Amino acid sequence: MSQVFPEARVVHPIEQESFRRLRTRLDTSHFAPLTRAVVERVIHSAADLDYAGDLVTDEGALEKAHAALHAGAPVVVDVEMVAAGITRRDTVCRLKDAKSGPGLTRSAHAIRLAYEEVGPGALWVIGCAPTALEELLTLDASPALVIGLPVGFVGAAESKAALRESGLPAVSNVSEKGGSAVAAAALNALLYHPVSQAAKASPSVKEKS
C-alpha cells in the first residue's frame, strides 16, 4: 500500500494568485467538482487553456478513483519525472529495472514489472511513453484509474484513443500533447481534493471537458 501523507497542504500565495488569474480567463464553474479540479490543475501546470477542451474525463470514475487513492491504493508512474511531480504520495516506478527486447520497449517492460508488484486496483499515471500505456491496456490490471497523458508525435494520440475505447476508468486527452507535468498534475488534483467534498459530488456523468 502506498504511503499516505494526511497532513494539511499549505497553498503558497503564488499558487493562489495563479489559480485566480486562471479563473478570470476561463470559466470552469460548470464542471463537476473533481473534473474541475483536474482540468484546472492540468491547465495550471502547463499554462495552456486549450486543455479545457482537450481533456476527456468522467466524474463518476474520478469519484471512485479519489476514494481509492485516499484509501491508500498504490500509484504507479511510467517515469521518474512523473514521480517527481507527485510529492504527497509514494509511487512505484520500475523503469530503472526494465530492459528492452524484441517487440518490447523498456517503458513497456517497466509497466509489466510494476503490475507484478502492485497487482489490480492501482492508479496508473502515464505521462511520457505511449508504449507504456499500450502495454497497460494488454494487462488485466483492473485499475482504479488510468491517467493516460503521454506526449509525442508517434503513438501518443493513438494510445490515448485506445485507452478511451477500452472502457477503463480514465483521464486522457485527444491531442498529441501531454507530458509528465500534466500527468502528475491530474493525480495531484485528486490528492489535494478534500474527501468530504468528493462525497458531496454530483451524480456520475460522462463528460468531455
Q: Catalytic positions, please?
A: 44
Per-position b or e across 105-142, b if 16+ CB within 10 A of its CB: bbbbbbbbbbbeebeeebbbbbbbbbbbbbbbbeeebe
Q: Order across the sheet with 206-207: list the strands.
A: 75-77, 123-126, 145-148, 170-173, 55-58, 206-207
